[in-house]
Amino acid sequence: MSPTELTTLLLLCTAMSFSPGPSTTLSTALAANHGLRRALSFCIAVPVGWTLLMLLCGLGLGALVAGVPTLRWGVKLFGVAYMLWLAYKLSRAAHMNEVDSARLNITFTQGVLLQFANIKAWMLALTLTAGWVVNALGQPAANPGERLAIVCAVMLMFAFASNFAYALLGALLRQWLRQGRRLLMFNRTLAAVLVITAAWMVTV
């Protein structure tokens, strides 16, 4: 992979990884409500799930989903439904001891599988497959396997770094959020972000 390609890849990964999305929003919510230690499992699950998605896209799944409207809409509708369900549960939690009862307790496996319902993750995986794995500066790549390994390694680091940064922000706000109705307003704000994300997912 040329220096130009690598630089462009790093810029794209930075913009996509650190911009708000379903995973980063949940990382913030989990850390704010449960603490950083509980959120760490999800922060690790996200890059694991995303890497699996990227590998499958690089091996041809992405082309299949993109080429079959029924599959594409199935992924999209499942992702939208899951985002709205999480938003509903999150919006009802006014106190930290209510978060578990609201079932905002995402397991490692659920965090991995969530990436397969994340349209933002799909779009990035398909973009990277087309632009950096199977092609090299507009020409068919001679070493797609090696390029796929590089892309996965880069995104593994970015996915963890971005989600951990958002989780750290949530953890730092944890004590402040304990007072009054701050946690409820915070959770409802994050729920609104999830709803907006779900609405955007329908349009892409």
- Res. 18: pLDDT tops 50: yes
- Give the pLDDT score at 158: 94
Who contacts 30 (Cβ-Cβ below 8 Å, separation ≥6)? 38, 39, 42, 104, 106, 167, 170
Give the tens place of pLDDT for each residue, 91-109: 776 665 554 444 567 889 9
In angstroms, how far is CA 66 from the centroid of its own chain? 19
Question: Percentage of residues in the chain with pLDDT exceeding 90?
Answer: 22
- Whether 17 is covered by a domain: the verdict is no
Q: In which band, very low, low, confident or very high, does the pLDDT at 164 lie, cut at 50, 70 and 90?
A: very high
Q: Domain limits at 158? A: 3-10+22-203
- Whether 16 is covered by a domain: the verdict is no
- Alpha-carbon dihedral of residues 55, 58, 193, 191, nearest 10 degrees? -40
- Whether 37 is covered by a domain: the verdict is yes
CA distance 35 to 12: 30
- Whether 69 is covered by a domain: the verdict is yes
Is residue 152 a contact partner of residue 54, using CB atoms and an 8 Å limit?
Answer: yes
Domain count, the chain: 1
CA distance 55 to 131: 15
Supply the mean pLDDT for the chain: 82
- Whether 15 is covered by a domain: the verdict is no
Give the tens place of pLDDT for each residue, 129-150: 887 888 877 777 888 888 899 9
Rg (CA), the chain: 18
Give the tens place of pLDDT for each residue, 30-81: 898 888 988 999 999 999 999 999 998 888 776 666 677 776 777 777 777 8
- Whether 42 is covered by a domain: the verdict is yes
At CA 121, angle to CA 32 and CA 190, rounded to 5? 25
- Whether 114 is covered by a domain: the verdict is yes
pTM of the model: 0.80
